[in-house]
Amino acid sequence: MRRFILCLTVLGSFAWVSGTQAAVLAEDRADALYHRYDGGGVTIDGPSLLVRKKVAKSVSVSANYYVDSISSASIDVVTTASPYSEKRTEMSVGADYLYDSTIFSAGYKNSDESDYTANSAYFGISQDLFGALTNISMGYSRGWDDVGRNGDSAFSEDVERHGYRLGISQIVTRNLLLGMTLETITDEGFLNNPYRSVRYLDSESEKGYSYQSEIYPKTRTSTAVSVRGRYRLPYRAAVHTEYRYFDDTWGVGAHTAELGYTQPVWGRWMLDLSYRFYTQTAADFYSDLFSRENAQNYMARDKELSDFDSYTLGVGLSYEILPDGWRFFDKGNLSLKYNYIYFDYDNFRDLRDDGDAPGQEPLYNFSANVLQFFFSVWF
Amino acid sequence: MSVCLAVAGLSGCSNIEPWVKPYERDRLADPIMFFDRDPVSSAYTHHVYEAREGARGGLGSAGGGCGCN
């Protein structure tokens, strides 16, 4: 569904920041990952394959193939539509060029499913300063999406997206790294889900409410600022923290905070523990129950635009399977990660039980189990 | 063009004496100090959140800063 695409497009636009070390091309590496998300009536799983390889002294290229196999009976689907299955396939390519202490990056990504096609391209530049104590990076991305609606061949809309990103990372001491990122994204086009509905009070309906299609603004601009740090402990372990402030022109404001700990154990094992907290305010045009039909120019009942909190508990374990290398492999890792996520909504109600009066239904919450298993080799 | 000029201008400051010498960065070069140790995993994790939250962007490492090699 569109929701998955839109978000990955934004994220993918800036994929170059993920693996970039300052003025050093990323290591030659291949990863094969299996992912599975299970929560709120939705199951999504599939593979992700990522390969990065230097093709010349100063050039590194990468490619990623990613699949989401979706089976959805979410609360939205159960209350207003029918369960469905779908597959989304995403492919991306990128290249980094190192010149002196500068890295130029560029890439392209395509994501495709039955009712949504997303494309994005990016360009970025990263520069070391002050004896490589400081690294600044900046980038621009452009996305262009085609929105369809299954069962309605006449429906065709589009979205255009521009993203601007500025980042800085700093070596502070022998044990401390800090980073900061500013990112602004603007969207223009058909930004709501063509299948999703809002509900409004309707005394003539048996349930006391009826549905009509969501109507979103045609533009959105968001700004996110984040700071992060990583500190090496006296023994071989590290703690990290990250905070993000988010704000957009739809009235959504959010805070994200994360704390994590990494500890090598039992020689070839690595343990990761993390806790993440997220809270957001609702969009100005969000309501769980509107007072009447066409109550406002813009209306949404997308729970992702509601008031809610969530937290994540994460644990990861990696095992170094090739500490001395093998043939042309320098080393290899097997990794398993598990995240438990809990979502608690403050103004999105659970309509699966018909016994309550409109607006008096229990508030919705759900938990999700997220599993990743991946194999990595360096060569 | 303006980006290139900005980068070129800042490069002129690169003769500032680094207070953490390259040979003092061995701890920072350890993979446990990477902001993004497993890109394939962090990309997926960010995707999981962005698909379910109103906020977007701004997360993830922006360059390294280690300068270890």
How high is the mean pLDDT of chain A? 91
User: Is the Cβ of A163 closer than 8 Å to some Cβ of chain B?
Assistant: yes
User: Is the Cβ of A70 closer than 8 Å to some Cβ of chain B?
Assistant: no
Percentage of chain A modeled with pLDDT above 70: 94
**Rounded-to-integer distance, Cα B19 and Cα A310, Å:** 40
**Rounded-to-integer distance, Cα B13 and Cα A22, Å:** 17
Note the pLDDT of residue B43: 94
The residues, ordered by sequence, that sit 6+ positions from A78 with a Cβ below 8 Å of its Cβ are A41, A352
User: What token pair was written down for A262?
Assistant: 């990494």
The arithmetic mean of pLDDT across residues A150-172, rounded, is 94
Is B65 in Cβ contact with A179 (below 8 Å)?
A: yes
C-alpha radius of gyration, chain B, whole number: 17
Note the pLDDT of residue B2: 55
Residue B5: band (very low, low, confident or very high) from pLDDT cuts 50, 70, 90: low
User: What token pair was written down for A246?
Assistant: 């988010």
Residue B4: band (very low, low, confident or very high) from pLDDT cuts 50, 70, 90: low
The arithmetic mean of pLDDT across residues A271-298, rounded, is 97
Residue A325: band (very low, low, confident or very high) from pLDDT cuts 50, 70, 90: confident
The arithmetic mean of pLDDT across residues A95-116, rounded, is 94
pLDDT higher than threshold 80 for residue A311? yes
Residue B18: band (very low, low, confident or very high) from pLDDT cuts 50, 70, 90: confident
The minimal CB distance from B41 to the residues A33, A174, A244 is found for A33
Note the pLDDT of residue B7: 52
The H or E element that residue A80 is part of is helix A75-80
Instruction: Look at domain A2-378 and name its CATH class.
Output: mainly beta
The arithmetic mean of pLDDT across residues A126-144, rounded, is 93
Residues of A in contact with B11 (CB under 8 A): 101, 127, 129
Whether residue A198 contacts residue A290, with contact meaning beta carbons closer than 8 Å, is answered with yes
Beta strand extents in A114-267 (DSSP E only) = 116-129, 134-147, 157-171, 176-189, 197-201, 209-213, 219-232, 238-248, 253-265
Closest Cα in chain B, distance from residue A332 (Å): 12
**Rounded-to-integer distance, Cα A310 and Cα A224, Å:** 18
Residues 233-252 of A with CB under 8 A from B: 236-238, 240, 242, 244, 246, 248, 250, 252
Closest Cα in chain A, distance from residue B48 (Å): 8
Is B48 in Cβ contact with A339 (below 8 Å)?
A: yes
User: Is the Cβ of B5 closer than 8 Å to some Cβ of chain A?
Assistant: no
What is the SS3 assignment for A16? helix
The arithmetic mean of pLDDT across residues B7-25, rounded, is 69
Question: Other C-beta atoms within 10 Å of B14: how many?
Answer: 16
Whether residue A175 contacts residue A231, with contact meaning beta carbons closer than 8 Å, is answered with yes
Residues 23-62 of B with CB under 8 A from A: 24-25, 27-28, 30, 32-36, 38-62
Is B68 in Cβ contact with A137 (below 8 Å)?
A: no
Residues paired with A141 in a beta bridge = A122, A163
